[in-house]
A and B are shown apart, each in its own frame.
Chain A
Amino acid sequence: MQQPVTASPAVKTGKPFLTERRLSSLMAYLFISPFFLLFAVFGLYPILFTIYLSFYKWDALGPMKYVGFKNYDLITSDPTFWISFLNTLLIGLMGTVPQLLVALVLAVLLNSAMTRFKKGFRILFFMPNITSIVAVTLVFSTFFGNNGMGNWLLDLIGFDPVAWGSGFWGVKIAIATMIMWRWTGYNAIIYLSGLQSIPTDLYEAAKIDGANKRQQLVFITLPLLKPFIIFTVLMSTIGGLQLFTEPYVYLGQSGTGSTREEGITMVVYLYSEAFRNGFFGTAAATAVMLFIITIIFSVINMWVSNRLGGDTGGSKA
């Protein structure tokens, strides 16, 4: 079919039959061409082919057979698909909503004029984010072992132990905790840079006009922080829906490589359909569904975060 291109753009030197102007745009096209070549082969073509593939039955080896919407019927009537959908949403919500709120609080604290050692705190808060997801998952699986620190702490404050590795909520809380730990500091620093971009004289003017702390927050801070909030909400939405490594590693220690139902996410479902069961058609249909869901949720979340701050919509820093 399409011949994949090995992109190694040699830099050609223009020859005098070109005018300076044309040479200049030719060079510009040359400079940007590696991206477009690679994207054509490893981005655009695979996306189109995924959509095409979702209407075929295929095991990646034999001939492809057109089946219409059968793959979509198959996955939507598979309870595991819906479990993976529900899990993805629940873990996504549990991992990101509290996280963004905590990040906002940390950012406000860090931005306060009376806080010292700002740079030091920023570095410490950001440290979890450089750790690989695999490493995070391994460390937290010691916390959430049956006799691990998590249950010890619960016992200390008088609660029964929780089955972090197999319970419906236990698994989800464990995975959401891993997400929170890795991303809270990152988002706090994004918010902090947003807060720092708000001119201080705005607050002074508001104070002269008699605005109290709460009014300053609602009418100045939140509206001006809006682009940053939209950015983090969007990134968290996309990241949350693509959740794979945490559940795959955390629940895959049985040696069979399969993931427990409590933690199966949509991408885990996709991965096992394709690379474990060899059903490339249904896996492609899952990918298309995931993409549609991503668009829907991104639009909803953008709309919601855009309404934040009430009637002050449209003001930009």
Chain B
Amino acid sequence: MRATGTVEEKQGIVSKTLFYVLLIAGALVSVFPFYWMFVIATNDRSGVFHVPPLLTVGDQFFVNFQRVLELSSFFTALGNSLFVSTVVTLSVIFFCTLAGYAFAKYEFRYKNILFFFVIGTLFVPQQLGVLPTYVIMAKLEWIDSFKALIVPAMVNAFGIFWMRQYISTAVHSEMIEAGRIDGAGHFRIFWSVVVPVITPAMATLGIFTFLNVWNDFFWPLVVLKDSSRFTIQMALQQLFTTRDGLDYGMIMSATFSATLPLLIVFLMFSRWFIAGLTSGAVKS
């Protein structure tokens, strides 16, 4: 990755400065809304309309957040999201790893066609099937049940693709052979030979899945009607729909509180995260 110094010809101080100015401007644009979120969350409800805009952190955060708690079941929604995201993530890691392992290391009829089919499903927009899926959920009486969010998401094509790519290169067939000779069963080999080698890929898939489920809005909006079942995204949206003047201090204190956990997780695991993103990018 590190360039050897001969890649770019020596350029003047001017262009170097320009490079950094642009990059820093980009970084500021990326980060500023997070800071702004916190500024509004910590100032009183008129803070957002201050001219010129406020740029300093205030001390009203808990006052604002108190109003969030009065208006919504913030922590219930947070718990709902945490529960759904965790269950889906564990399930996706398990089933996608299993299927990716089969596609990477087993020989069976129609393997290539089936794998091609898996990839093909990636390009079908979710909205195409949303109405019948809603009807299925209604028939199963899963409206307002977390099962409606969890069951359809338990395994996905991207995860299978991602695990297959990783297992193909990271797991050597000799290791599996050795396990067979020792008389270990198929699942046993998977669990004690394959899984320990591929935990980084599983972690990346896990972070991605968790984030996607946590941030999803469309499908929960369709199947959850009872406010005690709302996910955190729906709870945030609800705070925004009041008819009488918008209380941005309150809204931003909730938004900030809902974003902070993800931000911390991201900063802790950013290495895995970005590595995963880049190696999963090109599917050809």
Residues of A within 8 A of B (CB): 4, 6-7, 11, 13-14, 23-25, 27-29, 31-32, 34-36, 38-39, 41-43, 45-47, 49-50, 53, 60, 102, 105-106, 109-110, 112-115, 121-128, 130-136, 138-143, 145, 147-149, 152, 181, 184-186, 189-190, 192-194, 196, 200, 203-204, 227-228, 231, 238, 241-242, 244-245, 248-249, 252-255, 257, 267, 270-271, 274-275, 280, 283-284, 287-288, 290-291, 294, 298, 316
> Which residues on the A side are within 8 Å of B152 (C-beta)?
38, 41-42
Nearest chain A CB to B96 CB, angstrom units: 8
Q: Is the CB of B27 within 8 A of A142?
A: no
* In the assembled complex, B83 has its CB within 8 A of some CB on chain A: no
Q: Is the CB of A60 within 8 A of B138?
A: yes
> Which residues on the A side are within 8 Å of B281 (C-beta)?
190, 193-194, 228, 231
Can you list, as one digit per residue, whether each of B248-273 has a CB less than 8 Å from chain A (1) or not (0)?
10011001001100110011001001
Q: Is the CB of B22 within 8 A of A105?
A: yes
Interface residue tally for chain B (C-beta within 8 Å): 105
Say whether, besides A28-B102, A127-B263, A228-B281, A113 and B7 are in contact (CB < 8 Å).
yes
Say whether, besides A200-B3, A242-B125, A287-B127, A126 and B274 are in contact (CB < 8 Å).
yes
Nearest chain B CB to A237 CB, angstrom units: 11
Q: Is the CB of B255 within 8 A of A294?
A: no
Q: Is the CB of A132 within 8 A of B259?
A: yes
Say whether, besides A109-B19, A113-B8, A190-B278, A35 and B99 are in contact (CB < 8 Å).
yes
Nearest chain B CB to A252 CB, angstrom units: 6
Nearest chain B CB to A175 CB, angstrom units: 15
The count of A-to-B residue pairs whose CB atoms sit within 8 angstroms is 297
* In the assembled complex, B215 has its CB within 8 A of some CB on chain A: yes
Q: Is the CB of A131 within 8 A of B125?
A: no
Which of these binds chain A: B28-36, B57-65, B196-204?
B28-36
Partner of B106, one of A28, A134, A283: A28
Q: Is the CB of B241 within 8 A of A255?
A: yes
> Which residues on the B side are within 8 Å of A138 (C-beta)?
236, 240, 251-252, 255
Say whether, besides A24-B186, A34-B155, A132-B259, A181 and B33 are in contact (CB < 8 Å).
yes
Within 8 A of A (CB), among B78-119: 95-96, 98-99, 101-103, 106-109, 111, 114, 118
The docked-state distance in angstroms from the alpha carbon of A140 to that of B44 is 18
> Which residues on the A side are within 8 Å of B246 (C-beta)?
253
The docked-state distance in angstroms from the alpha carbon of A125 to that of B48 is 25
A-B contact pairs, 16 of them (CB 8 A): A32-B99, A42-B129, A47-B129, A53-B132, A105-B22, A115-B20, A138-B255, A139-B255, A147-B49, A148-B48, A189-B278, A200-B3, A244-B218, A267-B127, A274-B130, A287-B129
Say whether, besides A125-B27, A138-B236, A290-B125, A131 and B5 are in contact (CB < 8 Å).
no
Complex A-B, nearest 8 residue pairs according to Cβ-Cβ distance, in ascending order: A46-B129, A193-B278, A28-B106, A46-B132, A25-B108, A31-B102, A132-B215, A113-B3
